[in-house]
Chains A and B, each alone.
Chain A
Amino acid sequence: MVNLSVKIGKLKLKNPVMAASGTFGPEYRQLIDVGSIGAVIAKTITLKARAGNKPPRIAEAPSGMLNSIGLENKGLDDFINNKIQLFPKGKTALIVSISGDSDEEFKELLKALNKIDKVSAIELNLSCPNVKHGSRHGLTAQDKGAVSETVEAVRRLTKLPLIAKLSPCVTDIAGIARAAEKAGADAVSLINTFPAMAVDIETRKPLLGNMSGGLSGPAIKPIALKMVWDTYQKVKIPIIGIGGIMGYEDAVEFILCGATCVQIGTANFVDPRTPAETLRGITSYLAKNKIDDINELIGRLGK
């Protein structure tokens, strides 16, 4: 029997496959069994409701997509009162993604989520390219000091495992990851989307209502892999690899580059069966290669 379970801080996951924030929700229950994978990361919530960006919010790129949703959500209270019960109990860990304009907002979110049994861990979305963060220039995840500050602020408030979600738009992602680790993060997840554009040459206007958005999908996978590999050289906490994973082959690449877990995002829109199929594929890959514990594969990239 192959061991697939991995740990993020004190959280034990039954397997390393996760569904990424904003790409997977209870709406998929009619199509697939959402209970087979290790964790589901709920769509990012903020303290107060956010209307999101004006349409169009979606555009396609070669082997990728651009989105500028703008963190539309109904806020913390609605999540607790109406959304959380829609996620399956027990079998699959529920990780809640949160974002705030200030450390105070992150803290308020944490205080409320601490009290909810169903929440297994928190992902700090420090890197959404579609929102402006208070008075700060750029993203929290683009500044080591800001990352430390936010992670430290919430670390003091919770025993829940904390995952810092990082932006690829930095000169040294490993350095940012190291700052998150030092500040007490239990894991880092990378990468979020790349700021990107697409243009309609007939109307001569951007295809997205918000001018630009975030690029995701297979187009960004090779860059994400390199960032996971670089980060793996610098941090000891688990890395959650994200970026264009469409199947188990992609997931195994990430694991070999140092990822303990993988998140599947854009692929859910293409085929919602992808997370479960990726898990099946990883399991057979391990069996075929006579590896009885997935943890033995992490970072085992030959040279």
Chain B
Amino acid sequence: MLQFILRRLGTMVLTALCLTFIVFFLTNLAPNLEKVAKTQGNARMSDQDVNSWLDKRGYLAPLPVKYGQWLGILPGYTHQDDDGVITGRCISKDNTAQTAPTFCGVLQGHWGLSTVFRKPVLSVISERLALTGWLMMWVMIVMVPGALIIGVFAGMREGSRTDRSLSTVSILTTATPEYVSGVIFIALLASSKFGISPLLNEWGWIETKTLFKGTATSAMKEITFVNFFLPVITIALYGMGYIARMTRASMTEVMTAQYIRTARLKGVSFPAIVMKHALRNALIAPFTVIMLQIPWLLNGVVIVETLFNYKGFGWTLVQAAGNNDIELLLGVSVVSVVVVLVTQLISDIGYVYLNPRIRIS
């Protein structure tokens, strides 16, 4: 087991290095650098000005060298002005050229400076990630039990009317991407002119103009049911169908097993069979699916945060990518890649741990 985890960790590190290098390569292509120089410096810079601007900030070094500097295994660049002022990657207000460390990259905890937010990348990411963490937490709280209940009820009696209607519902939710369901939900529940809100308001059931809020900006300060329900349900629904279908498949398989038949013949009641005998075995497969669903949630988060204007991690990704904020983009990809790989690892380990029939050779 330990060897397995170590090997997986090795692959993870290699994958993370490759991925960040790809992001590094794509963001450091010449047209992208020119765009950075022109947005940060002056839109009407001549080619020569652009070059000197980039050179001063160490952008013109060869790609592997730049990557090494960002990683922190090569000494950070330094640049000496005509006046003798030394600037460099590791030199800031607090660290003069003499006291600055030679290496400062991700490994040393220097993630660089975001050009869009004009703040250190690490503080931007941690702040935004916390906001997204709340969103993810509520999504999980809604999605996982909902999906498991739907799946178990559908798979309990295969082919019954409950099964058919629940299965159709789960197909419907997997067929509705977030940007479609979000729009429909806002139209039905959060519009002051259409849907059910005007009706409820007229009847005096709700005091406010709309039942739910169409934006989640206020949820960044204080999460309430009214401002957070729609984004959460929008992400949760899309993931729910898939998990429910996996649960149903695994439940139907378990329900045809020999030990269930034995229990039935012994006269155990149907609820007891489901609760005591079937459920535990049926929930092994969905566990892996739930873990592997987390990277997909990340996509949903980007869409929903853009749609509902909730300024979390996904929104930051869009801002960073749209403005070619190189350091922030690298930070964002490091975080998301780590999330993806860690969930994969947990799902693998959990699968082995939960299922005694599988042993790693």
- Determine if chain A interacts with chain B: no
